[in-house]
Structure formats: C-alpha cells, structure tokens
DNA sequence: ATCTAGTTGCGACTTAGTTGCAACTAGAAC
DNA sequence: GTTCTAGTTGCAACTAAGTCGCAACTAGAT
C-alpha cells in the first residue's frame, strides 16, 4: 500500500469531521484501522481489528461505515481478482491512483503508479466527456517470480 | 457490447471443443446465451435465458460453466461498480480489451477501446515483468448526459 | 457396444452483505 | 451544563450470490 509520509494519523478522521460527518467511537476505531493498514483489508478483517480498539463495534457498522467512506471518496473498493471468496478489499484513497496486479499463482498483489494510467483517465474525461469519481484497474496474471 | 461482425455463432463452442472441453446440451445453451448477449449479463440472467433453450439447466451448472470459461480466458468478469447488489457480470472476451464506464447517476454503462489502455498493459508486461491474463478497468462517475 | 472420466441436478450449505427497529448519542442550540 | 433531535448504533433476522458433496448420467474415446 502506498503510505505517503504526508499521511498523518487521524487525518482521515478530521477530513470527515470537516465535511460534517459525525464522529463516534466506532467510526474512530474503523477509520484508524483503515488508516494504519499495512495491506488491503476486507470487511471482516476490519471488523476484527476495530473490535480490538472498541469491542462494541458491530459488523453492520463496519459495512455502513465502508459505504460512507466510499460515498465520500475516502476509500477505494477492490476485488483483487476474487482469488478466494467473493469478498471485497478496501484501501485509503491517496492523492494519486494506482493499479493492482494480482498473481494468480502465488497470490501476490503488486501496486503500480503510471503516468499512462493518468493519461488514460484524462482521455476519458476529455473524449468521452465522462466525469471520473473512481477508477479501478485490476490485472490478473503471473508475477515476475512466477512466470515460468 | 462490442459485437464484431467476425464473430460467428457457435464460434465459442468450437473454440472450446478444439481445446478438448466436453460439450453438453447445457453448456451449448449457456454458451449461446453468452455469445448472443446484447448487454452484460449476470449469472441469474444467464440461467433464465439458458433455461429457455434447455429447461434442465441448473444454477450450479451456470456457475461451473462461468468458472470454466474464465479459466479458458473466454469471458471476462465485471463488477460494473456493483451499482445494485453484489452480482458480477459477464461478457465474451473479444480480440481487443475495452474498459467500462458506469454512470453512478443514470446507471448507463459505456464501453471504450483505447490505444492508451493497450500501451499501459504493455508497460506492465515490460516494466513490471508481469504476464497479463486479464485486465479489467472499470470507472465510476457521471456520463456526458448526467454531469450537470 | 462398451467404458470411464467428466459433467449434471439437486439440495443443503456458506459467505458476504443488508435491513428494520428500538435504544443510544454527537454535537448544535440554548 | 441541559436540552434536543437527527444521525448512528447493536442486534437479530434476513437476502443475495455463490459453492459443494454426491449419486445419476453422458460425451466421446476405444
Ligand atoms: Mn466484485
Ligand atoms: Mn463490455
Ligand atoms: Zn506470483
Ligand atoms: Zn448518466
């Protein structure tokens, strides 16, 4: 996960507060889990981790909060090729988008930023007159280590 | 859906037969539904349509066949931003990849082929030494008609 | 015509996410 | 600080989407 040094803990929280989103103990727990995540987390991992900070957090609150964060464009939702199960993964949306490569042999997820990706998005905005809110590029195949 | 005139009915079927995949009446029904689809279909629409050709087709056979087709790289699986429900959508994989734009206001799905997309994939193959089997670019936002 | 590995329908099951509701609470207004 | 209310919560029950074990069936090779 790209963890820019500029990302201050609690940043996500204040960003939402400023937007008029009400802060509760449960939300603070969930937000801090997402902010400090070292990898892509699914809803049930988020729940488990959040419960360690606030035991009252419920599954439905996690889902409702993920919905909220998506609406506010604060997180992205990923399939990561649904390599096992159908669950979705979440990550903090940072300044610049990145794409995800999932190795279908070893399961490794690699992230990559690319100017071409930015150019492609600009092309859609311009040529298709489409106003982009989310752009999700996921690639499946074999990573450098696994290809033959 | 891009329906190249070069796509002959039954093409998908023979493609698989040649690959040593056993053909059953159920598979023929499912394949023909996918081949003649005029839009992106989810598993239950595929089931409904396939049952009109062969009433014995079962839900589990649809899912098993979709799995098979994915493994053979014959179809792509899409989220289309999961605008209602969590279901996945399927489409015949044609020669050239295309990306999907989903309008979050009116729900319209727009497809787009782009040389930049091809370039980006080449960049991943080259710079990341990643061997791509599937590439899925889905964009959410507002279409030309809906953006204010 | 025979044979067998692959495929099927069925039904029960799992997993992921949703929802209605009564109780609770953040934060704005006094 | 007290009051107030719209927004939020946990709970439990629910839906939707997909999976799986198994006995019966069958495609296609021999
Ligand atoms: Mn998905
Ligand atoms: Mn398409
Ligand atoms: Zn790998
Ligand atoms: Zn629209």
Name the residue closest to D15, CA to C1': B85
Cα(B72)–Cα(B65) distance, integer angstroms: 11
pLDDT digits (tens, 9 = 90+) for A70-113: 999 999 999 999 999 999 999 999 989 999 999 999 999 999 99
pLDDT of residue B95: 86
**Domain limits for position A121:** 96-148
CATH code of A147's domain: 3.30.1490.190
Instruction: Tell me: do A16 and A83 sit in the same domain.
Output: yes
CATH code of B26's domain: 1.10.10.10
Write down which residue in B51, B68, B94 finishes a domain. B94
pLDDT digits (tens, 9 = 90+) for A74-86: 999 999 999 999 9
pTM: predicted TM-score of the whole model, two decimal places:
0.92
Write down which residue in B72, B94, B116 finishes a domain. B94
Q: How far off is chain A from B56, nearest CA to CA, in Å? A: 27
Instruction: Tell me: do A15 and A46 sit in the same domain.
Output: yes
pLDDT of residue B148: 73
Q: How far off is chain B from A51, nearest CA to CA, in Å? A: 25
Instruction: Tell me: do B81 and B119 sit in the same domain.
Output: no
Which nucleotide lies closest to A29 by the C1' atom and the CA atom? D9
Write down which residue in B66, B94, B122 finishes a domain. B94
* Predicted confidence pLDDT, tens digits, chain B (148 residues): 665 555 666 789 999 999 999 999 999 999 999 999 999 999 999 999 999 999 999 999 999 999 999 999 999 999 999 999 999 999 999 989 999 999 999 999 999 999 999 999 999 999 999 999 999 999 999 999 999 7
Total length of chain B: 148
pLDDT of residue A148: 73
At A100 the three-state DSSP class reads: strand
Instruction: Tell me: do A134 and A64 sit in the same domain.
Output: no
Bases of strand C lying below 7 A from some protein CB: 6-12, 15-20, 25-27
Instruction: Tell me: do B120 and B47 sit in the same domain.
Output: no
Interface A:B, Cβ pairs < 8 A:
110
Name the residue closest to D17, CA to C1': B87
Q: What is the count of structural domains for chain B?
A: 2
Which residues of chain A register pLDDT less than 70? 1-9
Instruction: Tell me: do B19 and B56 sit in the same domain.
Output: yes
CB atoms within 10 A of CB A140: 22
Instruction: Tell me: do A68 and A46 sit in the same domain.
Output: yes
pLDDT of residue B2: 61
Instruction: Tell me: do B73 and B128 sit in the same domain.
Output: no
Chain A residues with beta carbon closer than 8 angstroms to that of B114:
120, 123
Instruction: Tell me: do B69 and B104 sit in the same domain.
Output: no
Instruction: Tell me: do B87 and B23 sit in the same domain.
Output: yes
Instruction: Tell me: do A19 and A85 sit in the same domain.
Output: yes
Instruction: Tell me: do B20 and B32 sit in the same domain.
Output: yes
* Helical spans, DSSP H, in chain A: 11-18, 25-35, 43-53, 59-71, 115-127
């Amino acid at each position: 996960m790209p963890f820019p040094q500029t990302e201050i803990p609690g940043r996500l929280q204040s960003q939402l507060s400023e937007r008029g989103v009400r802060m509760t103990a449960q939300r603070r727990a969930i937000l801090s889990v997402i902010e400090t995540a070292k990898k892509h987390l699914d809803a049930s991992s988020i729940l488990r981790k959040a419960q360690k900070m606030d035991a009252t957090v419920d599954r439905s609150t996690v889902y409702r909060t993920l919905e909220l964060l998506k609406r506010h464009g604060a997180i992205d939702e990923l399939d990561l090729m649904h390599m096992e199960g159908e669950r979705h993964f979440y990550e903090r949306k940072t300044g610049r988008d990145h794409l995800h490569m999932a190795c279908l042999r070893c399961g490794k997820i690699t992230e990559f930023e690319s100017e071409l990706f930015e150019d492609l998005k600009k092309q859609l905005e311009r040529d298709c007159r489409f106003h982009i809110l989310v752009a999700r590029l996921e690639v499946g195949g074999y990573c450098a280590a696994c290809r033959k």
